[in-house]
Structure formats: structure tokens, C-alpha cells
Amino acid sequence: MYILRKFYIEQSCNRYPDPGSPPRCLLVFSADILLQFLLGFTFGNIVGMYLAQNYDIPNLSKKLEDIKKDVDTKKKPPSS
């Protein structure tokens, strides 16, 4: 797959575009990066939704508040 993509980019870079327009190889490269980002983002969202619906995932904000309370109680000197 990588070799085929590299060949396609090299072939598109060898063509001479109209003056004033960006080289076609940059457009192919940016489209490839955009497609890879969108696929990863979509897949991550689907996995996240599946996990949230099917497993008991703890609420991180409540966990952080509990940790802050524990740290505050340990920092306070005992009142006597």
C-alpha cells in the first residue's frame, strides 16, 4: 500500500500544473493526511461509543474530585 501511494504521488508530482496553481503532489499528500485523520477520528469515536454503552466506565470528573478531597485532607494538619 505504501509503495503504491508513493508511486502515485511521484507520478502526480512529475506532471507540470498550470502556473499559479499548487503542485498536484501537495494536493494528493494533503488529501491522504486528511483521509487518514478522518478515518482514525471516526474509528476512535465508534470504539468510544461502543465502550460507553457496553461497559461501566467511571466518571473521571468525580474520581478527580475524590482524589482532590483525599489530598486536601492529608495536607491539613490535625486540629487538636
Confidence of residue 40 (pLDDT cuts 50, 70, 90): very high
| Residue 80 domain flag | no
| Residue 32 domain flag | yes
| Residue 53 domain flag | yes
- Indicate the pTM of the whole model: 0.43
Number of domain units in the chain:
1
Q: Is pLDDT of 41 > 90?
A: yes
Q: List, as one string, the DSSP characters of the chain.
A: -HHHHHHHHHHHHHS---TTSPPHHHHHHHHHHHHHHHHHHHHHHHHHHHHHHHS----HHHHHHHHHHHHHHHHSPPP-
More reliable by pLDDT, 26 or 45 = 45
Q: Domain range holding 54?
A: 2-75
pLDDT digits (tens, 9 = 90+) for 4-27: 555 555 555 555 555 666 566 656
